Amino acid sequence: MAKIKISTKDIGCIKPRCRRKLKRTHRHHKGHEKLFINIWAGVKRGKTYKELVDRYLQFRPEDVCIICDQHHAEIHHIYRDIIFEHQTKEKIPLMAFSWKQAHTLMGDLRAECAAWLREDTPGMSPKAVFTKKSKPVKTD
């Protein structure tokens, strides 16, 4: 049998110097599209909503990044502040956001994630960030 050589650089969490390379990972969506997919489930039925769901379910390499539990918790903790900032600025609930406002927010989340992915950060306890089980994306 041929020997397969795998470097720990190539597997697991892609954050620089993450020490949890062999731990469970997530395919994290950089734009956190699930936020609006869940908020607008059963509310928005248009083509744009369907496209958002379809693309989310494709887990395209350019849309997702592979990160460990603790780093996943950390980026979602950072997202919370950004989401709150946008809500405060728009003075309306997320549910009432226009597509333009939603795409601006998702763009900011993606940009933050791209910058954060290059940094060496410690991560956070998932228990401190994820209080309840998040709902899976509905495909219908």
By CB under 5 A, name the one of 31, 40, 65, 71 that touches Zn ion: 71
Site for Zn ion contains 15 (CB under 5 A): yes
How many whole angstroms separate alpha carbon 90 and alpha carbon 88? 6
Sign, CA torsion 106/73/57/92: negative
Task: Compute the least distance from the CB of residue 26 to Zn ion, in Å.
Answer: 6
Q: Which of residues 28-47 bind Zn ion (CB under 5 A)?
A: 28
Task: Compute the least distance from the CB of residue 101 to Zn ion, in Å.
Answer: 21
Would you give the distance in Å from CA 89 to the centre of its chain? 22
Task: Compute the least distance from the CB of residue 13 to Zn ion, in Å.
Answer: 3
Nearest CB to Zn ion, comparing residues 46 and 59: 59
Region of residue 15 (left: phi > 0; alpha: psi -120 to 50; beta: else): beta
How many whole angstroms separate alpha carbon 24 and alpha carbon 29? 16
Task: Compute the least distance from the CB of residue 74 to Zn ion, in Å.
Answer: 9
Cβ atoms 106, 36 nearer than 8 A:
yes
Nearest CB to Zn ion, comparing residues 18 and 97: 18
- Closest residue to Zn ion, based on beta-carbon distance: 13
Nearest CB to Zn ion, comparing residues 13 and 129: 13
Q: Name the nearest CA neighbour of 23 among 57, 70, 60, 59.
A: 70
By CB under 5 A, name the one of 13, 52, 102, 129 that touches Zn ion: 13
Site for Zn ion contains 68 (CB under 5 A): yes
How many whole angstroms separate alpha carbon 36 and alpha carbon 33? 6
Q: Where along the sequence are the contacts to Zn ion (CB under 5 A)?
A: 13, 15, 18, 20, 28, 68, 71
